[in-house]
Amino acid sequence: MKVNQDLAEFFLAAQKYCYKNFMLEVELVEGRYFSKITADYFKREYVFVVLNSGMKNQVAEKIFRAYLAQGIVAVNHPGKHKAIDRCEIEGTDWFKQLQNLSDDKARLQYVGTLPFMGPIIRYHLARNIGVDCVKADRHLVRLAIKYGYTQEEKKIEELTKDVTRMCQDLSIDFGLRIGTIDVILWRYVAMGGQNKIC
Amino acid at the residue 130: G
Rounded average pLDDT over 40-44 = 97
Which comes out higher in pLDDT, residue 151 or 79? 79
Q: Which candidate, 32, 21, 67, 33, places its Cα nearest to that of 48?
A: 67
d(CA 176, CA 82): 36
Amino acid at the residue 1: M
Rounded average pLDDT over 111-122 = 94
Amino acid at the residue 39: A
Provide long-range contacts, Cβ within 8 A and 24+ apart, for 34-38: 34/98, 34/104, 34/107, 34/129, 34/130, 34/131, 35/130, 36/130, 37/95, 37/129, 37/130, 38/95
pLDDT of 56 over the 60 cut: yes
Rounded average pLDDT over 116-145 = 93
**Entry pTM:** 0.88
Could you report the per-residue pLDDT of 156-181, keeping only the tens digit for each? 889 899 999 999 999 999 999 999 99
Helices (H), 71-155: 78-99, 104-111, 121-128, 138-146
Share above pLDDT 90 across residues of the chain, in percent, rounded to a whole number = 80
Spatial CB neighbours of 101, under 8 Å, sequence gap ≥ 6: 107, 110
d(CA 169, CA 163): 10
Give domain limits for the chain: 5-31+135-197, 34-128
pLDDT of 134 over the 90 cut: yes
Q: Which candidate, 157, 154, 183, 155, places its Cα nearest to that of 171?
A: 183
Residue 1 binned pLDDT confidence (cut-offs 50, 70, 90): low
pLDDT at 198: 43
